[in-house]
A and B are shown apart, each in its own frame.
Chain A
Amino acid sequence: MSDPILTVEGVETDIAQYHILKGVDLQVPRGQVTMLLGRNGVGKTTTLRTIMGLWRNKAGRIGFDGRDLNKMPIADRCRAGIGFVPEDMGIFAALTVEENMTLAALSGPLDPARKDWLFATFPPLRTFWKSPAGTLSGGQKQMLSIARAMAEARSLYLIDEPTKGLAPAIVSTMVRALRELKAQGASILMVEQNFAVAKALGDRAVVMDDGRAIWSGAMAELAADPALQERLMGLSMEAH
């Protein structure tokens, strides 16, 4: 694989007394969407949080765009160019939508052209711009969470289950937005349980099991092979 933007080598992470990641190796190619797949509880979310620095890895190395992230504080990882959308969306409920977005614009006021693009991509944000984020619906909160990560251009986005629990029409909006993000040159590492979404967006896939990456390859190859899905994930994802 040529010029990966993110390289994770032998990463191990403990949470309290639990040994969650047992040596994860994966790469995210520049400008592509890599889907992180696997059954529940195999360490996908922990992998994203470890890359972001929210959990500290006790072994292994995380390299991003030529830099070693191991000792880098969380905030500096964002400033280095990593956008993060957590599984719980991380919305500041008591702040307005506008304040959530203002906070995400690190280098000053939100760029008007980018704001217009985000409004066009996620129309409810314009409607509820002055409303507390806590009053939004689940889908609108997810739009805000993703829009917030996109408030300024980042070179890598870590996105954790952005379509979980959303209506199909909202899922389509998300897919369209993420495609546009990719078209702008961003790289994405995304945890996704909805195989249709993974198939629609992913260029590559990494499958995890028991705290390790057990397979990586082209998304199309995995999507075309129900037997491989069955072997890697214990079920045929075509059913989803």
Chain B
Amino acid sequence: MSDAPEHSPTFARVSLARRLDRAAPYLLVPVLVLLGYMAIGVPSSWLTLTVSGLAMGMMIFIMASGLTLVFGLMDIINFGHGAFISIGAFMGVSVLFWLPGWTQAASLPLNVAAISLAILAAMLLTGAVSWVFERVIVRPVYGSHLKQILITVGALIVLEELIVVVWGGEEIFLSRPEMLQGAITFADAALERYRILAVVVGLLIFAALRLVLQRTKIGLIVRAGVQNAEMVEALGYRLKLVFIGVFVAGSALAGLGGVMWALYEQVITAGMGEGMMILIFIVVIIGGLGSVEGAFIGALLVGLLQNYVAFLEPKLALVSNIALMTAILMWRPQGMMPVMKGH
């Protein structure tokens, strides 16, 4: 047997078409923004709608990011995710109601501190509830999608009823903190202060998730686990513990998203999370199961498209996102940035 020759391969030039194909998902958002500009025609209206769409997209991303990781890593279809959004919203709003001095003060630091505390409380509660949820509801049905759908839908209903028991069944209206009300004018466009904050929070969450997933060992384990859970175990990592961590973190992010969405809509109901699930599932599916980047791009597309279409042709707003999902799945049936499974 002769030895293998030394390998000194050179890297081939990647064709423009292939590079474009790889970059296509990243280009969709700027392309949609450009198309929106051409269709709307009025720069100030376009800018207002774009910021609004980005804010909506960021909030949907925050809510969807945990679900896509749970899908990808654990192969769990969790319809109960919507309940964590509602629980987070109710907990966060309760904290805001307990801090009227902070929310009504004309002080941005105090207002932001109040929202931060509300978010912290919401994430802690949803994280704790989701830990119990994983042990009691999800763990017995690993490996069976039908059972997962049935039991998590049932759990969603139970959790919504528990919200009604604790907080009552009426809609709760709320005002945004003083300094986050109203809009600023930029280039003749009215940009709501809260929406700008939502964009900033969404970007921070995305950056933090990217940092954890790309630069830490635990992120490496999660990314590997999404591709081949069995092999990660064989390399010495107890993936079940990672599963629980991801489930709790993903649910806590849903709680965070619930607080942000509550302040966006300025009204909360026990069923608000359930109402968001269609948009969240669209984002997870078009992004590619398990892909945080895909969910980010998908959420921005959904938010922007909904805002542009609602302005241009309100009757089509409801179907625009279904049309978007159909188009993307016809182009890439596995979603825009599917996670490669196996080898």
A residues near B, CB below 8 A?
A: 52-54, 73-76, 78-79, 84, 86, 88-95, 99, 102-104, 106, 123-124, 127, 133-134, 141, 148, 167-173, 175-176, 196, 200
**18 pairs, CB–CB < 8 Å, chain A vs chain B:** A54-B233, A74-B230, A75-B235, A75-B236, A78-B233, A78-B236, A86-B234, A88-B343, A92-B231, A94-B223, A95-B223, A99-B224, A127-B8, A134-B340, A169-B5, A170-B4, A196-B1, A200-B1
Beta-carbon nearest neighbor of B231 in chain A: A90
Specify the chain B residue showing the minimal Cβ separation from A154: B236
Check B343 against A93 for contact (C-beta < 8 Å).
yes
Q: Are A173 and B340 in contact (CB under 8 A)?
A: no
A134 to B9, CA, bound (A): 16
Encode B217-255 as 1/0 by CB contact (under 8 A) with A. Answer: 100110110011011111111110000000000000000
**Distance from A89 Cβ to chain B, minimum over Cβ atoms (Å):** 5
In the A-B complex, the 10 residue pairs with the smallest Cβ-Cβ separation, listed nearest first, are A78-B236, A90-B231, A173-B4, A74-B233, A172-B1, A169-B4, A91-B343, A124-B7, A93-B340, A94-B340
- Quick check: B232 and A88 within 8 Å, CB to CB? no
| Separation of A84 and B228 alpha carbons in the complex (Å) | 14
Residues in chain B near residue A104, CB distance under 8 A:
235
Interface residues of B in 193-234 (CB under 8 A from A): 217, 220-221, 223-224, 227-228, 230-234
A168 to B1, CA, bound (A): 7
Main SS of chain A's interface residues?
Answer: helix
Our pick among A93, A170, A196 for the contact of B342 (Cβ within 8 Å) is A93
Q: Are B235 and A94 in contact (CB under 8 A)?
A: no
Q: Kindly state the separation between the CA atoms of A25 and B91 in the bound complex, as whole angstroms.
A: 59
A73, B342: Cα distance in complex, Å: 21
* B-to-A contact residues, CB < 8 Å: 1-9, 217, 220-221, 223-224, 227-228, 230-239, 339-340, 342-343
What distance in Å separates the Cβ of B67 from its nearest Cβ neighbour in chain A? Answer: 20
Chain B residues with CB under 8 A of A93: 227, 340, 342-343
Whether the Cβ atoms of B237 and A75 lie closer than 8 Å is yes
Instruction: Decide if B224 touches A103 in the complex (CB within 8 Å).
Output: yes
With A93-B343, A94-B339 known as contacts, the answer to whether A54 contacts B234 (CB < 8 A) is: yes
Chain A residues in 8 Å Cβ range of B236: 75, 78-79, 106
**Known contacts A78-B236, A92-B223, A92-B228; can you find 11 more A-B pairs with CB under 8 A?**
A52-B234, A53-B233, A74-B230, A74-B233, A93-B342, A99-B224, A103-B232, A106-B235, A106-B236, A168-B2, A196-B1
B5 partner residues in chain A, CB cutoff 8 A: 169
> Cβ of B234: which chain A residues have Cβ within 8 Å of it?
52, 54, 74-75, 78, 84, 86, 90
Q: Tell me the complex Cα distance, A127–B228, Å.
A: 25
- In the complex, the chain B residue whose C-beta lies closest to that of A91 is B343
**CB distance B343 to A169 under 8 Å?**
no
Shortest distance in angstroms between B291's beta carbon and chain A's nearest beta carbon?
10
Residues of A within 8 A of B6 (CB): 123
- List of B residues within 8 angstroms of A169 by Cβ: 2-5
Residue among B1, B7, B235, B339 with max Cβ neighbours from chain A (10 Å): B235
